[in-house]
Amino acid sequence: VRRGRWLRRALAAGGLAAALPAAPAGAQEPGETLPGPTLRYGVLYDVRILPSQRAAHVVLRLDNTESLLRWLRLRVDPDRHRNFEGNGTLTRGDGTVEWHPPAGAGRLEYDFRIDHLRDARSFDARCAEDWALFRGDDLVPPARVRSRVGAESAAHLRLRLPAGWSVAAPWEHEPDGLFRIDRPARRFDRPVGWLVAGRIGVLRERVAGTQLAVAGPLGHGLRRLDLLALLRWTVPSLRELLPEALPPRLLVVGAGDPMWRGGLSGPASLYVHADRPLISNDGTSPLLHELMHTVLRVRAGKGGDWLVEGLAEYYGLELLRRSRTLSRRRHEKILERLAVRGRGAPRLESGDVDGTVVARAVTVLRGLDRELREASDDRRSLDDVLRRVAGRDLLLTSDSFRAVAESVHGASLAGFFRRQLASG
């Protein structure tokens, strides 16, 4: 069997099907327990971008020599994921495609329509003549897999681009041009996060131990150096705040109209519209707000949106203050204005999170920070709470957040939360 380079490398990376134990690199002490054997099957996402069709053609190549992967069920968007074909057995369901690959070399192909409207007129994914900007999470939709116990994927992605195009993506680029797709917490690796390809401008720099990149299509007015400058000022404060949660690489992508005029976070990456200011006149920063979402990786459970948005906004402002981008006095004034604005908010847990709810959430979090500091002679603060929720893919609700805050506080915060949640 002829094996491509990606297969040989997957083998080298841990054994495709050879049941090699994932032994540590160092010498093994006698009597030390070896971790269980890791079984790996190779996955290559072979992706070609086709601007004339505003689409990408995806070929998932699988090395299933040892039949480790039994089936894979994709949760597809029928408008965007189309024309599925493959060997083995394919079953199309309601919003799903289930694939039972054969033993040996598996192949599953489909077309991905890149363009996606966020509202009537603007896109949150777009393929134009000479650029494309979208999420890898959509390119390869969420999948459930059934594999042999303990088996996991060793995945790579090859991107085939039109002549003259280049790409910026939040994945490790290997010397031979493939991206290594590895999410250690997942057994089946998908290429998640924002990417931009085409005739693009890219700035790359290492800041506080993170490889930053700022990228966007040429001619869109994306102020790459401005964005990089604000990140150079603030990422060191973020590294101090959350040393563990900051990813090793971080990509900021942006473009102008007809892209959506806001900001959107993703794994190790975020999108901002080219016209958004670095810092708005109300003192908040769209860039740092999304950056906090990216790093915190918390999602809202029932009624928890106020916390997800409030933490991103509160700590976006904190990064500006801690990096001395904003003076202490100006920061204080901004918080006072937010407190006034938040008085008009509906109940925090009511669901719809508009600007007034975010303003009120910031005020509540500030009050909680004060409560924690006063009770501990400044030894504990909201930062400690944040460190316990960041980077764990948590579902935040008022109750789960209160439990974490109480674990920091060492006493009940029921009264505090009852007062804050009741008003509005």
Enumerate the β-bridge partners of residue 45.
Answer: 60, 157
Minimum Å gap between C-beta 309 and Zn ion is: 5
**Helix H or strand E encompassing 69:** strand 69-75
Angle (CA) 118-120-125 rounded to 5° is 30
Minimum Å gap between C-beta 192 and Zn ion is: 18
Minimum Å gap between C-beta 190 and Zn ion is: 23
Q: Which CB sits closer to Zn ion, 300 or 404? A: 300
What is the length of the chain?
424
Is there a contact between 309 and 354 (Cβ–Cβ < 8 Å)?
no
Q: Which CB sits closer to Zn ion, 76 or 295? A: 295
Minimum Å gap between C-beta 261 and Zn ion is: 14
Distance (Å, whole) CA 31 – CA 37? 17
Binding site for Zn ion (CB under 5 A): 309, 312
Q: Which CB sits closer to Zn ion, 7 or 312? A: 312
- 220: three-class secondary structure by DSSP: coil
Q: Which CB sits closer to Zn ion, 132 or 264? A: 264
Nearest alpha-carbon partner for 239 in 299, 311, 319: 319
Q: Which CB sits closer to Zn ion, 181 or 312? A: 312
Angstrom distances, CA of residue 202 to CA of 116, 162, 214, 274, 347: 24, 18, 6, 14, 43
Minimum Å gap between C-beta 306 and Zn ion is: 11
Minimum Å gap between C-beta 304 and Zn ion is: 13
The alpha-carbon radius of gyration of the chain (Å, integer) is 23
Tell me the H-state helices in 103-202.
Answer: 136-139
Q: Which CB sits closer to Zn ion, 138 or 309? A: 309
Minimum Å gap between C-beta 387 and Zn ion is: 20
Backbone angles phi, psi at 99, to 5 degrees: -120, 125
DSSP-derived secondary structure letter, 259: B
Q: Which CB sits closer to Zn ion, 362 or 408? A: 362
Is there a contact between 61 and 156 (Cβ–Cβ < 8 Å)?
no
